[in-house]
């Protein structure tokens, strides 16, 4: 089974609305990352949050981490049509730089 | 930097043929990862290297798959013989620390 599981699997909103995606994981982590994948492209790193951090911001992105619940959320504020993509959370394992990716949330932002 | 480079971008082959996918990581990165992405299975880690040495190949589906990294700037993923169920998008990614940088992927179709 996958380490990270995103919820919901798909989300459709209107431009200007906020989008919230959630990720749950099973084991202890050092950090959690969020990536974006546009259709037909490779994944692009968005933000990293360490296990001792609870919240992090980057532009219109806000990530929270609750290690007691083994969950994280990604909030995109004031969404734009260009935010349409799949969003993945990824958690680190014990060794090296290996990441385990969840199944992703497909976000559609309608203009 | 040009980012991670993968070739070919698209490959169509017939069952039983040998397929070789190529990857050039970002210069200076010491980790290299090969992933496979399908609708059914999502993003799967196949194998990863650290300083050109394979660290974990437990994700390689079977003996038909093999990967090499002869030097820090080049890696190959070979499928021999290929089967229709190998049809997927194959991504290469490299990293220096926790963040992974993905290539554009190779879309493989095995007929």
B73-99 pLDDT, tens per residue?
A: 999 999 999 999 999 999 999 999 889
* CA–CA gap between residue B37 and residue A39 (Å, rounded): 12
Q: Who has greater pLDDT, B2 or A74? A: A74
End-to-end, the C-alpha distance of chain B in Å comes to 36
Counting residues of chain A whose pLDDT is more than 90, the rounded percentage is 77
Q: Write down the pLDDT at residue A6.
A: 82
Q: Write down the pLDDT at residue A13.
A: 96
Counting residues of chain A whose pLDDT is more than 70, the rounded percentage is 93
Q: List CB contacts (< 8 A) between A43 and chain B.
A: 43, 91, 93, 100, 102
Closest CA to A98 of B50, B10, B51, B104: B50
Average pLDDT, chain B: 95
Contact B93, B103 (CB under 8 A): yes
Residue B2 has pLDDT above 60, yes or no: yes
Interchain contact, B31 vs A43, CB within 8 Å: no
Q: Who has greater pLDDT, A1 or A75? A: A75
Average pLDDT, chain A: 91
User: How many C-beta neighbours within 10 Å does residue B15 have?
Assistant: 12
Q: List CB contacts (< 8 A) between A99 and chain B.
A: 45, 98, 100
Contact B6, B95 (CB under 8 A): no
- What DSSP state is assigned to residue B84? G
In this predicted model, what pLDDT tens digit does every residue of B30-57 receive, in sequence order? Answer: 999 999 999 998 999 999 999 999 999 9
Q: Closest partner residue to A48 among B43, B91, B99, by Cβ?
A: B99
Contact B67, B46 (CB under 8 A): yes
At residue B22 the predicted structure's pLDDT band, cuts being 50, 70 and 90, is: very high
User: How many C-beta neighbours within 10 Å does residue B110 have?
Assistant: 20
**Minimal Cα distance from B95: which residue of A?**
A97
Interface test with chain A among B33, B98, B104, by most A beta carbons within 10 Å: B98
In this predicted model, what pLDDT tens digit does every residue of A53-104 receive, in sequence order? Answer: 999 999 999 999 999 999 999 999 999 999 999 999 999 865 567 898 989 9
Contact B101, B2 (CB under 8 A): no
- Tell me if chain B has a CB within 8 Å of the CB of A85: no
* CA–CA gap between residue B91 and residue B106 (Å, rounded): 7
Dihedral pair phi/psi, residue B85, rounded to 5°:
-70, -5
Closest CA to B92 of B7, B2, B28, B18: B7
Contacts A–B by Cβ distance under 8 A? 57
Q: Closest partner residue to A45 among B50, B100, B103, by Cβ?
A: B100
Residue A14 has pLDDT above 70, yes or no: yes
Residue A2 has pLDDT above 50, yes or no: no
* CA–CA gap between residue B29 and residue B10 (Å, rounded): 25
Cβ-based burial of B56 (10 A; exposed 0-12, middle 13-18, buried ≥19): middle
Specify which residues A12 forms β-bridges with. Answer: A108
Q: Look at the alpha carbons of A7, A10, A13, A16 in this order and tell me if their dihedral is positive or negative.
A: positive
Q: Write down the pLDDT at residue B1.
A: 66
Interchain contact, A101 vs B42, CB within 8 Å: yes
Q: Write down the pLDDT at residue A4.
A: 65
Q: Closest partner residue to B48 among A2, A42, A98, by Cβ?
A: A98
């Amino acid at each position: 089974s996958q380490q990270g599981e995103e919820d919901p699997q798909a989300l459709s909103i209107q431009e200007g609305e906020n989008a919230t995606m959630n990720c749950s994981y099973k084991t202890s982590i050092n950090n959690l990352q969020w990536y974006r994948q546009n259709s037909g492209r490779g994944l692009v790193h968005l933000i990293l949050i360490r296990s001792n951090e609870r919240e992090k911001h980057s532009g219109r992105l806000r990530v929270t981490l609750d290690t007691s619940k083994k969950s994280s959320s990604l909030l995109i504020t004031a969404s734009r049509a260009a935010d349409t993509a799949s969003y993945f959370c990824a958690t680190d394992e014990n060794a090296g730089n290996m990441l385990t990716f969840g199944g992703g949330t497909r976000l559609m932002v309608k203009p | 930097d040009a980012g991670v480079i993968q070739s070919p971008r698209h490959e169509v082959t017939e069952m039983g043929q040998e397929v070789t996918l190529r990857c050039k990581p970002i210069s200076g990165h010491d980790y290299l990862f090969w992933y496979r992405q399908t609708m059914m299975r999502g993003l799967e880690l196949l194998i990863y290297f650290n300083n050109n040495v394979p660290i974990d190949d437990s994700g390689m589906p079977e003996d038909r798959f093999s990967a090499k990294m002869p030097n820090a700037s080049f890696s190959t993923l070979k499928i021999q013989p290929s089967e229709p169920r190998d049809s997927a998008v194959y991504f290469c990614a490299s990293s220096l620390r926790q963040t992974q940088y993905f290539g554009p992927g190779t879309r493989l179709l095995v007929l």
